[in-house]
Amino acid sequence: MSQSRILNAAEASRRHGALAGTYAAAILHADPLADAAVEALHPFHGRWWPMVLKALEEGIAAVPDAPPELAALIASLPPEPKPEEWEKMARGSAAIGRAGDSAGLVLQCASLMIDYWSPPAMKPLVMTGTLQQQTIHRLTQTNAWWIELHRPGGLHSQQDGYKTTVHVRLIHAFVRRMIRGSAAWNRAAWGEPINQADLFFQVVGFSKLMVDSLQRMGYRFTAEEKEGYFLFWRHTAALLGVEKALLPSVNETDCGRYWDLWMLTNPGPDADGIALAGTTLETVAGVGSPSAAMRGFQLWLLRGATYWLLGHDVSQKLRVPWTAASFLLPLVYKPAVWVSEAFTKWRGVDHGQAAARAIRKLALGNAALGVVPEGTHVVSAPERLEALAKYKPGAPAS
């Protein structure tokens, strides 16, 4: 157990019992299958992703020079859900997907912002310069991955959402390889880079926090839709490499408990997290090169949305400047959502149709930025993939 990054351990155990111990142990767990695969793939440099993509699309036998470690990773991917599970997942995904731009706002102001709360979890982003140097790329790439996942049938094995999720998993492993070889990582203090506990919390941000935030905005979900959405993220989590022992906890109750564990045991944002929170909102406000006045207005709204969705205490500790938009947004947003939902229902448009239309609109918005392509290249630009593969580790960390 990595004690130095776990605060209030006794209180965590009192509140959450065995889940607290599972969380603490997961800080020292990475993803051995993916790590072994990237170690075998890195000599292929820029060819590694086309090789993996072909193996996913045509089977490992179609790639005669594929290393056995890649074959082992692909063989370990979760089995196809049963037809009734696909139906539940489709209903859950459509219920969230229909929110469209609202879901995009949650991603920008809540699901991604909360990552900055934990300094140890933030270390890989800080050490690789991912956000400081390429903020807009990271944000739009995450949005693009979310879009691919939420397209109708996006999680089916031949769809880009599925393949891109495997891509994310391998990028995580390449980043771990770089960090471990840098001699700058303190495993005793921080656990493994991009460890199981931090990865699971990202799933919480994309599932529980998304559902809660959209409900705060005025969207209504049935118990069946929420159950289907957590099932959707349980399958996605398995593709991302979340351990089997943690997968049953991808449900509304346990994700809520995990949120409490995270806030209780992590020390809160440091200077890097605070800086990145500010950079994120400023970057989003500047997308599309708006006028200075429009950029200022958008930043005012985004800061207010962060207070609305993450709460005053979290936003204050992230040093997000307070704006009156945090009061005004609920007054305007919720009635607008209720009217829109009622009109959609009156027109007889089901959630699946509404979701498909909203996802298409989000994809067009991303494409208009000219930053992120669609399909299976949304995670990382080719030159970054090449740099990850060519990286040569230095002396091992002590």
HEC per residue, 6-51 = CCCHHHHHHHHCHHHHHHHHHCCCCCHHHHHHHHHHHHHHHHHHHH
- Give the tens place of pLDDT for each residue, 140-150: 778 888 988 99
pLDDT of residue 309: 97
Q: What mean pLDDT is predicted for residues 147-170?
A: 92
Asked, for residue 225, whether it belongs to a domain, the answer is: yes
Is residue 112 in a domain? yes
Cβ–Cβ < 8 Å for 166, 37: no
* Number of independent structural domains in the chain: 1
Give Cα 202 distance to the centre of its chain. 5
Q: Quick check: is 39 in a domain? A: no
Give the mean pLDDT of the chain. 86
The pLDDT, as a whole number, for residue 330 is 93
Lowest mean pLDDT among 41-45, 65-69, 188-192, 355-359: 355-359
* C-alpha radius of gyration, the chain, whole number: 21
At 287 the pLDDT is 79
Residue 333 class from Cβ within 10 Å (0-12 exposed, 13-18 middle, 19+ buried)? middle
Task: Taking residues 106-126, report their average pLDDT.
Answer: 91
- In this predicted structure, the answer to whether residue 220 has a pLDDT above a threshold of 80 is yes
Q: Residue 212 is part of which domain span? A: 3-30+77-390
Report how far residue 98's alpha carbon sits from residue 338's, in angstroms, rounded to the nearest whole number. 13
Asked if residue 346 belongs to a domain, the reply is yes
Among the ranges 101-110, 129-138, 309-318, 385-394, which has the highest mean pLDDT value? 309-318
What is the predicted pLDDT for the residue at 294? 94
151, part of any domain = yes
Which residue from 233, 226, 232, 234 is spatially nearest to 252, judged by alpha carbons? 226
pTM attached to this predicted model: 0.89
CA atoms within 13 A on the CB side of 154: 29
Distance CA 105, CA 243 (A): 29
Cβ distance 57 to 49 under 8 Å? no
With respect to residue 287, please indicate whether it lies within any of the assigned structural domains. yes
pLDDT at 242 (0 to 100): 98
Domain for residue 183, yes or no? yes
Q: Is 54 among the domain residues?
A: no
Cβ density class 34-61: b for 16+ within 10 Å, e for less: bbbbbebbbebeeebbebbbebbeeebe
Nearest to 276 by CA among 387, 165, 134, 379: 134
The label of the residue with tokens 């840098």 reads 182
Look at residue 29 in the predicted model and tell me its pLDDT.
97
Share of the chain above pLDDT 90, in %: 63
**Higher per-residue confidence, 207 vs 123:** 207
